[in-house]
Every structure is written in structure tokens, then in C-alpha cells.
Structure 1
Amino acid sequence: MTLLLFVIATLLQGLSEFLPVSASSHVLGLAAVGWAPTLGPQGAFGVALGGLLALGLFFHADLTMMVRGTARRLIKGKRNPGATLAGQLALASLPVALVGALVERYALLDGVISLALVGWTTLIVGVLLWVADWMNMTVKRVEHLNGLDLLLVGVFQALALVPGVGRAAAVMTAARFVGCERRAAFRLASLLALPVLVGVAGLEGTRVVSAGLSLWSPVVGIAGALGVGSGLICLGALWAWLRRRTFAPFAHYRVGLGTVLLLLAYIAPLWPW
């Protein structure tokens, strides 16, 4: 059972990096009915490494373009698409880096996480995703986003530090609000996962070392393999889905899951089990 719960937690964390869902919504929901999937620092470190590898494989063209473009900009001082994309990702990542540092330094979320909170955030973001996807035009690609667009996306991504929001869902919602095409919203959310996963890997790696554990254990290997596999499946499936379809099924799923979590939080404790 412990291995099964570890695998479930690993897959949930991996899926939530690239799909507009939330790992914490599912983990707390399972815990409310008697299951408690946990990763631990080694598992979280492995999933982060696996997610980075999955992104590197799927978006290798973008990564190559950014590396070469940034080097060309530094050496020759000339603007190019690769350097511009790297700068856009850096700007959009600023809010979550600043807010995340404050949350980690002052433990701002300690003691406020609850099933009810996650239920509300899961439901509300589901509604926002549906509204953004239904109401807004699809006229922009990532290259068309200006500074204000990118900062708005960054603020939404910072809100994903609140459990239940989901980083990918927050970025995709914001991207749709500023007029991004659906595939562009997916691409932006995926590329913005790169600096986030690097930060998570660094943080969890530090925790592993501080606990006297190994960074290259079977636990890390299993979590990493599951992270790569689930990441590539999610990235490929959602990219294909958004060729002709919308984010509506994910929005509906979030609203349904949020409703279930709220029922568990408010009504289930009143029942004479």
C-alpha cells in the first residue's frame, strides 16, 4: 500500500505540472477518504528532474533556440527570437520567484491549508478557466505578448502557490485572458515550468541532503521515471487535444472536483458514519 500511494502521489504531481489540474486537490481529497499519498523530499526531487527531462525532450526546439539566441545576444548584442523568448520567460517568472521566496522564508501558508480552502480554489479556478477560454479571442502567440501581459501571467502563476490553484491552470487561464491562442497558452505554461522545476529540484535536493539521504536512490529513480513518462504523455496528449478542442473539459472537471471537496469539507463531518 505504501508503494501504491507513493506511485499515486508521484503521478499526481507529474500530471499537475502540465495539465490544468492541481495535485493538492487530489491528494487532500484522497486523504479525506482515508488515503494519504506522500512523496517525501526524494520523491519530489525525482519528479522535478523527470519533469525537466520531459520538457527538454518535448520542447527541445524552443530550448535550443533560447540557448543559441541568448548566447548570440550576449556576444553580438543583436536581438533575436530566442533571446526574446528567454527574456519573456524571465519576466513572467519574477512574481512567483519573489512571492515564493517570501512564502518559504516566512512560512506564510503554514496552518492555513485546509480541505475547504483547496475545494474553493479548485472550483473557482475551474470557473475562471472556463470563462477565459469561452469569452476571449485567440489572436496572440507567445511572441506577441507585451510586458503587461507577461506580468499578469506571472501574478497568476504566483497565485498557484495557494494549494488547489494549480500552476499550469493559473498560467493557461491568464494566457487566455490576455488573448493567447489555446496552444500558445499551453506552450507558455509548459515553458514557464522550466524555471519553477529548476527551483523545486534545488529546494528538494537541499532538503534531501539536509536529511542525510541520497540524491541518487531507487526512490529518486522511480519518481524520475514516472515523472518523465507522465510528463511526455501529458504534453503530447494536451498538444494534440488543443489542435481543435478547448479547455472546457478540464474546467468542468475542476468544478466537479471542487464541489466534491467542499462536500467532504462541510457536509461529510456532519454525517453519523
Structure 2
Amino acid sequence: MDWIQATSIALIQGLTEFLPISSSAHLLFPSLLLGWPDQGLTFDVAVHLGSLLAVVIYLRRDLISMVLGLWQWQQEKSLNPQATLALMLIVATLPAVFFGLVLKDWIEVHARALWVVAATTLGFGLLLGWADWRSRRQYDLAAMSWRHTLAIGLAQALALVPGTSRSGITMTAALMLGYTREAAARFSFLMSIPVILAASSLMSLELVISPVTISWAPMLLAFGVSFASAWACIVLFMQIISRLGMWPFVIYRIVLGVGLCWLLLPTLS
């Protein structure tokens, strides 16, 4: 992989990881349109760690508050709102972990076809638009309940299917439950931390036990590009949804889905 490929794919990963537009769909294009090779495990670890650092820094106040809340809970034996939110994030992560372990091999074989990505990109994009249009948008993050947490966590498990978009489906579920756009996005970003951390840890473990020689220069470049693009993406996204809602991303997903369907046409003839 040359420098241009490394920079481009890291940029795609960083820009699409937290937007409700599906990073998996976008990462298909370099190989489908340009014939670029798979980036490899080392590269995957680098871009995921870059995205993880970006969201951790952006949400640092929430994370520090939750850590202090957990510490206070242990000291005082009384559950507080910050500790409750931390526990809710754990609960919200469990469905994705469970179904990921159970269905991993099936998804790898049956769910990575282009027609699946096209269908999920279109279908869940339209669902996001419907949720944004119909949502009451009356709850903030402080109103998050255990029932809602589990519902959003189950929705997150659907993102195991490529093209669904982890951030897109969790924001859709939160909007359908009546949360504001900002609260839906913030909870989705918080939910991404344990998911990305778990995925990065597993990939890092595979990397440690594999005989692959690490090329540090492209790996550091990928990390830096992914971090910078993910950070900028999160900041701009929060500004956009407060002014325009989710519809710019819904329209984009429709266009992307149609484009993927167009790529499918030669295979149908």
C-alpha cells in the first residue's frame, strides 16, 4: 500500500466512522473502483485507534465524569447518575458483542455482498429520515432509561450487517424513542468507545501473535489522518444536526445507495 492509498483510506475511515452513512459501504469503493488491495491488519488497528482517540478526547468530560461517578459509587455504595450512565453503556454494548461472536462467520460469508450493502444503505437511510421527521425530540441524555438503553443496544447489533452504519442505526433508535438529535448523537458516540476499543484490542492481539512485520511510518500516518478527520467530523456533525437535522445524511445515503445499485447492474445482465 503506497502513501496515497494509506492517506485516502484513513481519511475515509475517519470521516465515516461517526457519521450515519456507513463506513463499510465507503470502504468498498477503493477496491471496487480502483482495484486497491486490502489494507491489512496493521492498518486496520492504526485507523481504529485514531478514531478512538478522537472520540475519547471529544467526550473527555463525559468520560471523566463517569469514571468519577463509578469511583463515588464504590465508595458510597449509592448509585449516582454518572455511574448509571456508565453501566448503561456496558449494557448497550452487550447485544453487539453477543451477536458478533455468534454470527461473525455467517456475516463474513453471507452479508458482505454488494447487494446487501446497497440495500442496507438505502433502507436504513430512509429509516433514519423517517425517525428524524417523526421524533418528538423531547428527551436529553439525562432521561436515558434502562429500557431505552437495551433497545438502542439491540439496534446497534444490526450494524454487524455491512452498510447499516453503527452510528446511523443507534441514532435512528434514539430518535424513535423521543431523544433530541444532540442526545442521540452523543449517546451513539459514547457507545462507539467500548465497541471500537474491543475491536482494536482483538485486532491488536491478532497482530501480536501474527508473523507480520510492522511498517511504522504508514501506520503512524494512518493513525494521524484517521484521528484528525474523525475529530473534525464529530465537531462538524454536531453543528450540522443542530441546524439542519439528519436530512443531509439521509439524502447522501440515498444517493450512495443508488450508486451502489448502479454498480450492481453489470452483475444482473
Asked whether 1:18 is paired with 2:5, we answer no
Greater mean alpha carbon deviation, residues 47-56 or residues 90-99: 47-56
The 3-state SS of whatever aligns with 1:79 is coil
Residue number in structure 2 paired with 1:162: 161
> Using the alignment, how far apart are the partners of 1:66 and 1:90 within structure 2?
12
> Using the alignment, how far apart are the partners of 2:266 and 2:198 within structure 1?
38
Superposition TM-score, scaled by structure 1 size? 0.92
The 3-state SS of whatever aligns with 2:107 is coil
Residue 216 of structure 1: CA displacement?
8.2
Cα RMSD, aligned residues only: 1.8
Q: Paired residue for 1:111, among 106, 109, 113?
A: 109
Alpha-carbon displacement from aligned partner over 1:97-124 (angstroms, at most 9, x marks no partner): 11112234xx121221211111001001
> Using the alignment, how far apart are the partners of 2:3 and 2:102 within structure 1?
34
Alpha-carbon displacement from aligned partner over 1:43-97 (angstroms, at most 9, x marks no partner): 1111121122111211111011010000110121122221011011111111111
Alpha-carbon displacement from aligned partner over 1:1-29 (angstroms, at most 9, x marks no partner): 73322222222222222111112212224
Asked whether 1:223 is paired with 2:222, we answer yes
Greater mean alpha carbon deviation, residues 229-238 or residues 71-80: 71-80
The 1:173–1:215 alpha-carbon spacing in structure 2 relative to 1, beyond 3 Å, is farther
Task: Give ranges in structure 1 of 5+ residues lacking alignment.
Answer: none
Residue number in structure 2 paired with 1:244: 243
Residue 126 of structure 1: CA displacement?
0.5
Residue 260 of structure 1: CA displacement?
1.1
> Using the alignment, how far apart are the partners of 1:68 and 1:209 within structure 2?
33
Asked whether 1:187 is paired with 2:186, we answer yes
> Using the alignment, how far apart are the partners of 1:91 and 1:253 within structure 2?
31
The 1:30–1:43 alpha-carbon spacing in structure 2 relative to 1, beyond 3 Å, is closer
* Identity value in percent: 32
**Quick check: 2:13–2:27 contact (8 Å CA) kept in 1?**
no
Letter in structure 1 aligned against 2:144: L
Superposition TM-score, scaled by structure 2 size? 0.93
> Using the alignment, how far apart are the partners of 2:251 and 2:15 within structure 1?
17
> Using the alignment, how far apart are the partners of 1:15 and 1:232 within structure 2?
9
Map 1:55-94 → 2, pairs under 5 A: 55-94=55-94
Letter in structure 1 aligned against 2:202: L
**Quick check: 2:10–2:226 contact (8 Å CA) kept in 1?**
yes
Letter in structure 2 aligned against 1:97: V
Greater mean alpha carbon deviation, residues 28-37 or residues 139-148: 28-37
Q: When the two structures are aligned, how many residues end up with a matched partner?
A: 268
**Quick check: 2:6–2:218 contact (8 Å CA) kept in 1?**
no
Letter in structure 2 aligned against 1:132: A
> Using the alignment, how far apart are the partners of 2:37 and 2:259 within structure 1?
18
> Using the alignment, how far apart are the partners of 1:38 and 1:237 within structure 2?
29
Alpha-carbon displacement from aligned partner over 1:216-266 (angstroms, at most 9, x marks no partner): 82233122111210111011101112222200010111111011101211x
**Structure number having the greater helix percentage:** 2
> Using the alignment, how far apart are the partners of 2:77 and 2:248 within structure 1?
45
**Quick check: 1:6–1:37 contact (8 Å CA) kept in 2?**
no
**Quick check: 2:137–2:179 contact (8 Å CA) kept in 1?**
yes
**Quick check: 2:159–2:165 contact (8 Å CA) kept in 1?**
yes
